[in-house]
Structure 1
Amino acid sequence: MSDPRIYRLLDASSNRAVEAVRVVEDIVRFIFNDQMMTREWKTFRHDLCSVLQVLSIDMRLAFRQADADVGASIALGSEMQRGSVAEILAANLARLQQSLRSLEEAGKLIDADAAQKIEALRYESYTLAAASQTIGVSIDRLQQVKLCVLIDGGASDQQFCRLIDMLVSASVGAIQLREKKVDDSRLMALARILVAKTRRRKTLSIINDRPDIAALAGTDGVHVGQEDLSVRDARQIVGPQSVIGVSAHSLDQLNRAVLEGANYAGIGPIFASKTKQFATHGGISLLKEVVNQTALPLFAIGGIDTKNVDTVIEAGAKRVAVAAAITAAPDPAQVVAALHQRLDFANSQAESPDENTPSR
């Protein structure tokens, strides 16, 4: 039999791990109001508690000596200081992962199978931690972005520049360059114009499909589709500070986007689009299915205009991505203003956290 005092270490690490995961779960549940991540962390907590059952509670209690803990009186000033929810989240994620490692190593002396399961949970925690922290960052960074306008290169540089200037002046939150009919040299030139026009302004510059162009031009981000590079691969190109959006046509695709670290998702197509053809349309039913599943910023996309945007908002959307309804309009600024008015009202009327939040 191994040194029975190992149970003292296992007891302390078990308590730390379970306490930390509860804090994380409470943050994604009550602060982020994220049903998907609440479900993930709740499942994680239950799996962890199930593994810990192999540790004899009698032995744990027998060696539990909190009053004699030589480390209890050692306190760092930073431990009692937290400047934000993000800091609380980061501290408890670190505490969880460190405790899991301690459990894994000490558990090898008691039950190799349990130690292996804890190792698997530790690796799972890395994925869940990254996704949870990305959601927090994305909520903050895209808080004011309610309208994304998709544009192409236009008939000339002058027309392209005039459109961007108008959109920026109208306080559009993001402009996404979606241009598939030009060569890479021309696409790079357009991307650099977009960056120059939006630099130090509140409008984000996004490139469609091409993380390489986004990285070279220095845009704020890139948007990828289901047939493009994955979010994780795109992140390797554009780096940690770039915004990455992904198209999601189902709840499963949205779940994957969240766990891969996307900063936002485009949900659709909601209606038939004049600028992009799809074999099928998820429609309002798709929007209703996914809109309350995650706190990650979601943009309804596909055929949205001033005539149907209220239907989209009623389905739960707080953000929309629009193309032809603005770019092909006789007065694009007027359409932007009308959409902003509807979206601003919807966001001001947003309900408090859902009463149907998952139970403990």
Structure 2
Amino acid sequence: MQHLLTAGAQRALKQAELIAHTSAQTNLDAIHLLAALANEESRAAEILLTHKIEPVMILAEFQLEIPDESSSDAEENQPLELSEALRDYPALKEILNSALEHASQADVSTEIGSEHLLWGLLNVEGKHTQWLNTRGNLSAQSLKQSIHAQQHQADPIDVDFAFRTVPTTINDQTHILRTIDAAANRLREGLRVVEDYLRFTLDDAHLMGILKTTRHQLADALKFIGPESLIASRDTLNDVGTAISTTSEFDRQTLEHLLQANLKRVQEATRTLEEFSKLISVEAASIFKQMRYSFYTLEKSVLGCLNNQQKLKDCRLYLLVTESLCHHGSGPAIRESLAAGVGIVQIREKEMTDRQLLEHGKRAREWTRETGAILIMNDRPDLAVAIDADGVHVGQDELPVREVRQIVGPRHMIGVSTHNIEQARKAVLDGADYLGVGPTFPTTTKLFEAHEYAGLKFIQQVAAEITLPWFAIGGINEDNLEQTFQAGAQRVAVSSAICGHEQPGQITKKLLEQFPS
């Protein structure tokens, strides 16, 4: 059974989060929820006032601040389920579960309201419970009795008019079915345009495969509506929308512009399908909702491929630098390889202290900036921001892309190491800006078991599916570089091949000469 929260309860949870942030307190706590409940126009606020507890008293007692009204507007006014609230506000888990327990005791099915949140808050011991009991003689038991009394004291309101119900007619449903039919056709058309772009322009089998599955989802959803009813309700000749057009409909300046227009068309059509199908089939509406969210992810992945292809178009050779591997030290290795044509450098140090790494990173930032090269920090999003690097690279055991993005922001690149095709596919959808693909050959920079080497087969798999920029990595040198290209790689990352060479600049030039023109 799904348990929804009322609009007042949703607003209170959101404002509690904002109060914690405004008050410069990193951990969301019960006191923030108490202040939010008192400040909201809700049943909880009414109960607090009857006990002579006002918002200003709570703010003063717990040294909190209420955020500006402009910062508290919710993006969407959609029903919030308890499971989603538990996920978004884990610190309030015990309070939310107590609120559910109280709401479930009602005689009739009810949503979790602000009064239930207040009861859950009182039912969880903390500094707030003693203060509420002392200041306003308010406890979980007294509140429970108060809520129960309110639920049974309300009398019907006398009115001088009567409501007249009008049953849904066949004609009404015809209009709904016409709308669904038109939106489904619009969705199919938009999907076909995007699919053809992925197939013939981007040449991305992975993303095209994801898009194809949505056709099956569409067919499954329409089964709940009734395909025959949709066809019978269609009336294209009398559709007033067919005679209306704007000049922007015919304005497609580039292939990317065309792609974006049809991605938006797909999303808009899915939203129409979701809303109107609620009047006929909840099952269909649920499928359309899932499709809509998947299209948001698809849009991000497709546009991410295009943007990062442009960012990395001149980056064919990627240098991973470790001080201990460099013949003359990392400074000469970086400077000479940059002068010879390396387009992207990663600082990959495991033994330096944070302070040493910070200073080393700042020097590398100056050198890469002078040549227009990209600088990446390995594993450390915090230091990537501190040295103003272009991005950060993480492995499968480090922070996920979502958490890294929250640290570095939208303008920094995020690279992800992948060791099999499933990891590569996932990284694309997670929002990685480029991939490391390997290990291709045995390497001295990182230990792997013999069975863990992905090898050239993995290179072939990624080359056949994925167009997000990726670099073959792992034991690549002057002797096996050609094999890597034959397997389908267009970009490679090396470490010892350059760092361990007596003349980093010279070997860099030799490696670049082997790249296909």
Q: TM-score, normalised by structure 1?
A: 0.89
Give 1:1-360 correspondences, 5 Å limit: 1=168, 3=172, 4-153=174-323, 159-199=329-369, 201-279=371-449, 280-343=452-515, 345=516, 348=517
CA distance in 2, matches of 1:85, 1:222: 30
**Structure 1 residues 216-225 or 2-11, which shifts more?**
2-11
Q: Which moved more, 1:324-333 or 1:70-79?
A: 70-79
SS at match of 1:166: helix
Q: Does the C-alpha gap of structure 1 residues 146 and 49 become closer, same or farther in structure 2, counting only changes over 3 Å?
A: same
**Moved beyond 6 Å, runs of 4+:** none
TM-score, normalised to structure 2, is 0.63
Letter in 2 for 1:312: T
8 Å Cα contact 2:340-2:508 kept in structure 1: yes
Partners of 2:358 and 2:336 in 1: how far apart?
21
The separation in 1 between residues aligned to 2:391 and 2:468, in whole angstroms, is 16
- Cα deviation for residue 67 of structure 1 reads 4.3
Per-residue Cα deviation, 1:100-140 (whole angstroms, up to 9, x for no partner): 11111100111111111111111222222211221121222
Aligned partners of 1:188 and 1:213 also within 8 Å: yes
**Aligned position for 1:357:** none
Q: For the residues of structure 1 that align with 2:379 and 2:439, how far apart are their CA atoms?
A: 17
**Take 1:21 and 1:61, find their aligned partners in 2: how far apart are those partners?**
20
Q: What amino acid does structure 2 have at the position aligned with 1:295?
A: T
Cα drift, residue 269 of structure 1: 1.0
Q: Deviations over 1:212-242 (max 9, x none)?
A: 1112221111111000011122112222222
**Inter-partner Cα distance in structure 1 for 2:322 and 2:201:** 38
CA RMSD of aligned residues (A): 2.1
Shift of 1:307: 0.7
Find the aligned partners of 1:307 and 1:92 in 2 and give their Cα distance: 46
Give the counterpart letter for 1:331 in structure 2: Q
Query: Structure 1 regions of 5+ residues with no counterpart?
Result: 349-360
SS in 1 for 2:225: coil
Indicate how the Cα distance of structure 1 residues 315 and 266 shifts in structure 2: closer, same or farther if over 3 A, else same: same
What stretches of structure 2 of length at least 5 have no aligned partner? Answer: 1-167
- The amino acid that maps onto 1:303 is G
Residue 335 of structure 1 deviates from its aligned partner by: 1.4
Greater shift in the superposed pair: 316-325 or 136-145: 136-145
Alignment check: 8 A CA contact 2:415 2:436 kept = yes
- Which deviates the most, 10-19 or 276-285? 276-285
Q: 1:308 to 1:155 in 2, by over 3 A?
A: closer
**Which structure carries more relative contact order (alpha carbon 8 Å, separation 6+)?**
1
Corresponding position of 1:353: none
Identity %: 38
Report how far residue 180 of structure 1 moved.
0.8
Change in CA separation of 1:309 and 1:80 when aligned onto 2, cut-off 3 Å: same
Cα distance in 1, alignment partners of residues 463 and 388 from structure 2: 31
CA drift at 1:64: 3.1
Measured in 2, the distance between the counterparts of 1:67 and 1:190 equals: 70
Structure-2 change in CA distance of 1:122 and 1:146 (3 Å): same
Does the aligned pair in 1 maintain the 2:441–2:475 contact within 8 Å? yes
- Aligned partner of 2:192: which letter? R
Q: Distance in 1 between matches of 2:411 and 2:237?
A: 45
Give the distance between the partners of 1:41 and 1:20, measured in 2 at CA. 11
Distance (whole Å) between structure 2 residues aligned to residue 329 and residue 69 of structure 1: 72
Give CA-to-partner distance per residue, 1:178-198, whole Å, 9 cap, x none: 011111122122222222222
Q: Who wins on radius of gyration, i.e. which is larger?
A: 2
Aligned residues of 2:224 and 2:283 also touching (Cα < 8 A): no
On the 8 A contact 2:207/2:302 being kept in 1, the answer is: yes
Alignment partners' CA distance in 2, 1:23 and 1:186: 52
Could you tell me which residue of structure 2 aligns to residue 351 of structure 1?
A: none
Task: Give the count of matched residue pairs.
Answer: 344
Once residues 269 and 294 of structure 1 are traced to their aligned partners in structure 2, the CA distance between those partners, rounded to angstroms, is 17
- Contact preservation (8 Å) 2:181, 2:234: yes
Please state whether the residue corresponding to 2:319 is helix, strand or coil. Answer: strand
Q: Which moved more, 1:178-187 or 1:74-83?
A: 74-83
Following the alignment from structure 2 to structure 1, what is the Cα–Cα distance between the partners of residues 325 and 281?
69
**Cα 1:76–1:239 shift into 2, 3 Å:** farther
